[in-house]
Amino acid sequence: MVFKEILPGPRLQPYIKCFYLYESDSDRGYDDIVFPSGTMEVIFNLGAGNWKSKKGDTFFTTPPVELWGQITKPLAIQSVGRNIMLGFRFYPHSAAYFFDENVSEFNNEIVDATHVFGPKLRTLYLKLLETADLNRKVAMIEDYLWSRLSVSEKKHSKIKFIGDIVSNLKKNYSDDNILSISSRYNISSRHLNTLFSQYTGLPPKLFYKINRFQHSLNLVSANEEKLTNVAYSAGYFDQAHFIKEFKLFTGFTPNSFAAHASPINQVLAGG
């Protein structure tokens, strides 16, 4: 398996968390699970294989250019054939800069990104297939994204406002904190919740839970601390609370997670 993470250029660093390249190391198919990350992303499938994601009891082949909405529960996927994925990950609030839809419409969905972004993205995808150099591919995507920023200029100030609140809530969610933020910006807590869901896809409380889970996931994956320490370090009330929420977002207990962890769910769940 090849996995490489690439930082965006300076002009896109406020909007794009990272680019990444994933290449499977064989044609052998496998099943896997993707966990909630608190972010949205777009993936160009550039290999001969394809991906399938489960909805209900059925697996469906994902489109060549995938837009991943916010995932709030474990998502089963299948790899078929040799896959090459070139993706980019937004910050929790920054996907909203690039299209007009309420981003919560995409929650727990993998949709055809060309239907959302339009035919120019399809043209970009075809050019990426013809381009061998990775740096050139990333530069092409960056040019496309930069051209898209003007789509949402009217709401840039609101999105930036939500971005500031994202930073605030990553470490401290409480009803008192929401009321404090509402008071500081002279808006109702209800309107704040609506804006947060519109521009991140998640209500503030669920965003905080997923962010806390991602922190605990990193600690569990490192396997350097006892579960009690992980629970308190990640901000849970106690170990039982931590185990319950970890299982909610992964389908596994922390003790059994190591046996099911795989490289791809770390790639696609990197918060």
Give the structural domain span for 124: 2-152
Name, in order, each residue with C-beta under 8 angstroms of 194's C-beta and a sequence gap of 6 or more: none
Asked if residues 248 and 206 have their Cβ atoms less than 8 Å apart, the reply is: no
In a domain, 208, yes or no: no
In a domain, 113, yes or no: yes
- Domain of residue 16, CATH code: 2.60.120.10
Residues 251-260, mean pLDDT to the nearest whole number: 85
In a domain, 52, yes or no: yes
In a domain, 194, yes or no: no
- DSSP conformation letters of 59-72: EEEPPSEEEE----
Residue 43 binned pLDDT confidence (cut-offs 50, 70, 90)? very high
Looking at the DSSP assignment, which residues form a beta bridge with residue 197?
none
Name, in order, each residue with C-beta under 8 angstroms of 115's C-beta and a sequence gap of 6 or more: none
Quick: pLDDT tens for 74-90. 999 999 999 999 999 99
In a domain, 57, yes or no: yes
- By CB neighbour count within 10 A (0-12 exposed, 13-18 middle, 19+ buried), where does 259 fall? exposed
Quick: pLDDT tens for 175-222. 788 888 889 889 999 999 999 999 999 999 999 999 999 999 999 988
Task: Report the domain count for the chain.
Answer: 1
Strands, DSSP E only, in 36-157? 41-45, 50-55, 58-61, 65-68, 75-80, 84-90, 110-112
In a domain, 43, yes or no: yes
271 pLDDT exceeds 70?
no
Residue 268 binned pLDDT confidence (cut-offs 50, 70, 90)? low
In a domain, 248, yes or no: no
Report pTM.
0.91
**Where is average pLDDT lowest: 2-11, 107-116, 143-152, 201-210?**
143-152
Asked if residues 260 and 217 have their Cβ atoms less than 8 Å apart, the reply is: no
In a domain, 205, yes or no: no
